[in-house]
Amino acid sequence: MAAKLATSTQGVFDGGVSFDFNTGAIDRASWVTALRAGDRAGARAKLMQWTKEGGRNVAGLAKRREAEARLIFDGDYGATDAVVPAAPSSYTTLAVQRDLAALGFYQGPIDGIASDGVRAAVIAYQKSHPDLVADGIAGPATQACVARDLAARRAAGASAGSVAAVTAAGGAIATHAHVAHPWIITAAIAGAVLVIAAAVLARRWGGEVKRAITPTAKDG
């Protein structure tokens, strides 16, 4: 039996995320089966077949598949930055420092320099999210996870502020009009809970991609 190809690299995961985001077909794509079986050439050729829309080849899809193939099979991000790939996104080291500092994973200077401290912060963040590969590269999957965490934090903060404002307003109404309105506070708290729950559920998407591209014990 051919040796299995290690598919747990960040490039494989990031390329798989890009493919599934575009097609929604990670669970049925034949290139994934070939990749898990260790057939690199076959997997690459099958991936490049996903370039049609309405039965016609689309140049934009061909370019996207080529970029995904370089990620998956070559680990090529077109990187000029030791920490953050320059392609396929414009997520800079400065942005990594800023975002991870906001999330409490980076305490160094916000200077755009790809230092060991920045890499360590990226790895620490990735280790805190089981769906990510802890390799110190802020690829598309890590970027998406950071964006979700920041959005959830902002939403939770906004909701907390709303709850405080509503509580204060309710207290004023009760004080001056002698009428309490507990349903207002309850509704605001429920809204905050829903926002946080939505952020948690969003993380599961990345896990589905990782399960699809990573061999299990049965594959051996």
pLDDT by 10-residue block (mean), the chain, 220 residues: 49 87 90 91 94 88 90 74 47 87 93 84 93 85 89 81 58 48 58 56 57 57
Please provide residue 125's backbone torsions phi and psi, each rounded to the nearest 5 degrees: -65, -45
Cβ neighbors of 29 (< 8 A, separation 6 or more) are: 19, 23, 46, 47, 50
**104 DSSP assignment:** T
CATH 1.10.530.40 is right for the domain spanning 10-76: yes
- Could you give the CA distance from residue 65 to residue 47 in angstroms, rounded to a whole number? 7
| Contact call for residues 142 and 151 (beta carbons, < 8 A) | no
What distance lies between CA 138 and its chain's CA centroid?
10
